[in-house]
Structure 1
Amino acid sequence: MSVTEQVIQVVAETLNVSPSAITQESTADNTTGWDSLAHVNLMIALEQTFDITLDVEDFAKLTSIQSITDFIEAAQN
């Protein structure tokens, strides 16, 4: 499973939506249920899933599937 697919799965589980409702273009602004509380829960889930540490500045930047995927891929390299 690619990083993007894993991110989509984590986002879908966190937001309690079908993975098919989440795309590479999904953002906090255009995705139902992706509010501030869900965003915090999502960041925690991403830290646990990918064994990464995010700081407050990262939380503010990671507001789309693309930005999350790019960040995780960079962190893994």
Structure 2
Amino acid sequence: MSVSEQVIHVVAETLNVSSSTITKESTAENTNGWDSLAHVNLMIALEQTFDITLDVEDFAKLNSIQAITEFIEKMKN
């Protein structure tokens, strides 16, 4: 499973929606249920899934599937 696919899966699980409703273009602004509390829960889920540590400063930047995927790919390389 690619990083993008894993991110989509984690987002869908965290937001309690079907993964088919989440795409690379999904953002906090255009995705139902992706509010501030869900965003914090999502950051925690991403840390656990990818075994990474996110700084609070990163939280605000990671507001789309694309941004999250690119960030994790950079951290893993």
Normalising by the smaller structure, the TM-score range is: over 0.9
Q: Could you tell me the percent identity over the aligned residues?
A: 83
The aligned residue for residue 57 of structure 1 is 57
How far has the Cα of 1:40 moved from its partner? 0.1
Q: TM-score, normalised by structure 1?
A: 0.99
In the alignment, structure 1 segments of 5+ residues that lack a partner are none
Structure 1 stretches of at least 4 aligned residues deviating more than 4 Å after TM superposition: none
1:2-52 per-position Cα deviation (integer Å, ceiling 9, x unaligned): 000000000000000000000000000000000000000000000000000
The aligned residue for residue 26 of structure 2 is 26
**Equivalent residue pairs, number:** 77
Q: TM-score, normalised by structure 2?
A: 0.99
Equivalent residues in 2 for 1:1-77 (5 A)? 1-77=1-77
